[in-house]
Structure 1
Amino acid sequence: MSNVHLAGIGLACALGDDLRSSIESLRRGGVPPTSVAGADGIAWPVHLLEARGGDWTQRLRDTVREVAAQTGDWAERTAPLFVASSSLDIGFMEHEQQEKRLGGDLQDFACIVAESLDWKGPVFTVSTACTSALNALLAAADLIRAGETDEALVIGAEMGNRFTVAGFGAMQLLSPDGARPFGQGRNGLVLGEAVAALRLGSRPARWQLAGGANVVDGRNPSGTEASAVHAMCRGALAQGGLHPEDIDLIKVQAAGSPVNDAIEAEALKQVFEPLPPLVSLKPSLGHTLGASGAAELALLIGCIEGGAWPSVDYPLDASLGIALCEEAPRRLRNVLLNFAGFGGGHASLVLKDTSP
């Protein structure tokens, strides 16, 4: 079976319209969220992409093209393309007649993405709420490991729409002022827009996708389940041939939820003893929902390679018994990235640094 490596990375998020500018923005302290109004004058902070000209579809096309170009030249464009999103074309419908869709099929959004790239290969839609992009990565990696393809492109995309913001607000899941993962007095999450592209291949490169797992536990459709956190971490470690003590850093799911953050913190302590360093990226780019698996992976690699690191500018909840690191660990061979979402989805990825 072939090993799977990251051959190229692209990102556009609230921090910047490419990975380099995003890292420079993070080094300067980041970008504050923007207030987005819902109904009846109610507003919530959201980490927005830079404003562009054109209608919603044109903005999607332009952003996808620019982000995909950051992953390198795709001469033939016949490899599999995986498009991951939670909101899909809701933004399009919001700006058009209420009954109008792109065409009426779940694949429509992915087709727009593929057409913007003039993609010739097979195109797949992955929409599993906030684990969408991570599951797309796992599916693409399986194809490469099995020898079905030499490379694949994964795109995670969450474009602007007020419907998603209002929906999360109606469920009282949004913070009115800012996300504070594992923080004292945390009061909800802050959403974000992002488009990220990850080029996977069988040729050796610095970063290897060593293992992964997807676990669905629907007992709490909108929350984190401790047993599922155990299972996803252990499943990813097992596929990578690793043990808990081999992990040098965990990118946590924590988004600022009073309950879910506490469940995740306790579950991680039950799997890892002692806990490795932890890092949270959601205060920097927001919770980008279906794109988060790709966007946070891209940003984390940018932080490691670019020498920048997200600051923690709020007090942590001492009752959780955890800490967030404020600089990259000196030893950083194996990284675990965790994601969770609506419907009971829990997904983990082990990223291995193969450099000497």
Structure 2
Amino acid sequence: MLKNPIRVVVTGLGVVAPNGYDKETFYQALLDGKSGIGNVERIEMSNFRTQIAGEVKISFPEMAREHNFDRTVSMACVALDEAFKDSGIDSTYISGLGIRAGMSFATSLGGNSRMMEHLKEELDERKIQPEWLTDLNFFSNYIAKNAGVKGAINSTTSACAAGTAAVGIGFDQIRLGRADVMIVGGSDPLTEFSIAGFHSLRSLSPTGSKPFDENRDGLVIGEGASIFILENYDHALERGAHIYAEIIGYGLSNDAYHITSPDPNGGGAIRAMKMALQDANLRPDDVDYINAHGTSTLVNDKMELNAINEVFQDHAKKISISSTKSMTGHCLGAAGSIELAACVLAVERGFVPPTATLSKPEKDFEEFSLIKSKSVKKPIKVAMSNSFAFGGNTACVILKKADELNVRKGVQFD
């Protein structure tokens, strides 16, 4: 833990998720246990094990043309616009901060939707024209340009842990004094490429995402974007910003085990959670809620709850735990960002989102406080968000309630 670090708070939030295309509809969906998983309209699914996914069923015609039809950028820009309006700042304000404003952005497929289209065309025509590879390098620049960012830009592509890792990186930039404002988040599209990859691993569910359930039979792919405005606490107070929550710690680790399978002993997950707790200067019994990675695969869910049991010991069975992937599907590089948005709203508004499809927990999981079907009203002072990914990448972020932060020097902020 750093000595006297700068405090970092969330002052803006934008969401594009399968079950809510803005912050408030996403919040209501979490309250109601509403799923955005259904039949896919945009991609031909007949050759796959499943015909369902968490698809964002809105179009971006004008924005798509502006950004060369890249869905990653289009969803991110919708979330960015909402985050800006929510925080009361805009691209002109960000530009005026110069190097004191930066961006930390996550994806696993940014540019790949166009890449695969070009690749298929070139294979069909027996051509080799690699210029389209440049798409992979510029998706974050499109977003940074829209945001007016002139400071440092980081792109994180650590698979399904990328969204959570990006928040940690942005958090560090502020608390180390390198920036006053960071735009952080992630975006990932639903593509034939990603679906085919998980189909080849035989990990897709034909029936739905059912984390921790005894009848779970695989994951469901999703898509979406979520972007946060992070600020130096004093900077936020000076401009009278609404403060949602405070980011207080994070941890990054690696299983060093297998390219697609998690360490069954949860080594990386255990290290990431312990690092986050240490970074936040918290005891295990300080944590009220964990938004689990909870993919609904046989191996991941068991590994994660075993890891939680190892880290939290006697407190493990008292913590409220849920997986919002039950409602969104697994949004890959954007998963951690969307799930952190659920945590921010849960902490600010005092509720625990459900594992909406959980009917009967697997026998080994029955002692855990798994939230089923619908949300539960409950004050949450501290929440943890977990993301565990291919390549053994593991990430964890911890945030706390901001009520006590919104009053200082006699000034009340809404």
TM surpasses 0.5: yes
- Equivalent of residue 392 in structure 2, options 333, 344, 348: 344
- Equivalent of residue 93 in structure 1, options 115, 119, 125: 115
User: Does 271-280 or 303-312 show the bigger shift?
Assistant: 303-312
CA 1:41/1:170 → structure 2, altered by over 3 Å: closer, same or farther? closer
CA 1:39/1:109 → structure 2, altered by over 3 Å: closer, same or farther? farther
CA 1:53/1:153 → structure 2, altered by over 3 Å: closer, same or farther? closer
Shift, 1:102, TM fit: 4.4
CA 1:317/1:42 → structure 2, altered by over 3 Å: closer, same or farther? closer
Distance 1:151 1:194 in 2: 23
Secondary structure at the aligned position of 2:276 is classed as helix
Q: Which amino acid aligns with 2:320?
A: P
Q: Does 1:285 align with 2:328?
A: yes
Shift, 1:105, TM fit: 6.3
Q: Work out whether residues 37 and 329 of structure 2, in 8 Å CA contact, stay in contact via their aligned partners in 1.
A: no
User: Does 88-97 or 245-254 show the bigger shift?
Assistant: 88-97
Q: Alignment RMSD, CA only?
A: 2.3
Shift, 1:249, TM fit: 0.9
Structure 2 portions without partners, runs of 5+: 123-128, 237-242, 405-414
Q: Does 1:263 align with 2:267?
A: no
Q: Which amino acid aligns with 2:94?
A: E
Q: Does 1:32 align with 2:37?
A: yes
Shift, 1:312, TM fit: 4.2
Shift, 1:103, TM fit: 4.8
- Equivalent of residue 255 in structure 2, options 206, 210, 217: 217
> So what's the TM-score if we normalise by structure 1?
0.92
User: Does 19-28 or 336-345 show the bigger shift?
Assistant: 19-28
Shift, 1:277, TM fit: 1.2
Distance 1:207 1:244 in 2: 19
- Equivalent of residue 324 in structure 1, options 346, 360, 370: 370
> So what's the TM-score if we normalise by structure 2?
0.80
Shift, 1:137, TM fit: 0.9
Q: Which amino acid aligns with 1:184?
A: E
Structure 1 portions without partners, runs of 5+: none
- Equivalent of residue 52 in structure 1, options 50, 59, 62: 59
User: Does 26-35 or 333-342 show the bigger shift?
Assistant: 26-35
Indicate the residue corresponding to 1:66 in structure 2. 78
Secondary structure at the aligned position of 1:7 is classed as strand
Indicate the residue corresponding to 1:4 in structure 2. 8
Distance 2:148 2:311 in 1: 45
Distance 1:268 1:42 in 2: 31
Secondary structure at the aligned position of 2:37 is classed as coil
Distance 1:340 1:62 in 2: 26
Q: Deviations over 1:163-218 (max 9, x none)?
A: 10111111111111101111112111111101110111112634111111000122
Larger Rg: 2
Shift, 1:328, TM fit: 4.0
Secondary structure at the aligned position of 2:94 is classed as coil
Distance 1:60 1:234 in 2: 32
CA 1:41/1:10 → structure 2, altered by over 3 Å: closer, same or farther? closer
Q: Work out whether residues 249 and 329 of structure 1, in 8 Å CA contact, stay in contact via their aligned partners in 2.
A: no
CA 1:41/1:213 → structure 2, altered by over 3 Å: closer, same or farther? closer
- Equivalent of residue 246 in structure 2, options 204, 208, 221: 208
Write out aligned runs for 1:224-243 (5 A). Answer: 224-225=262-263, 226-243=266-283
Q: Does 1:143 align with 2:173?
A: yes
Q: Work out whether residues 64 and 116 of structure 1, in 8 Å CA contact, stay in contact via their aligned partners in 2.
A: no
Q: Work out whether residues 11 and 298 of structure 1, in 8 Å CA contact, stay in contact via their aligned partners in 2.
A: yes
Shift, 1:221, TM fit: 2.2
User: Does 331-340 or 34-43 show the bigger shift?
Assistant: 34-43
Shift, 1:305, TM fit: 4.2
Identity %: 23
Q: Deviations over 1:251-300 (max 9, x none)?
A: 11111011121111112112212321111110111111111111111123
Shift, 1:12, TM fit: 0.3
Q: Deviations over 1:105-147 (max 9, x none)?
A: 6422212322344543332211111111111111111111111
Indicate the residue corresponding to 2:360 in structure 1. 315
Secondary structure at the aligned position of 1:5 is classed as strand
Q: Work out whether residues 72 and 110 of structure 2, in 8 Å CA contact, stay in contact via their aligned partners in 1.
A: no
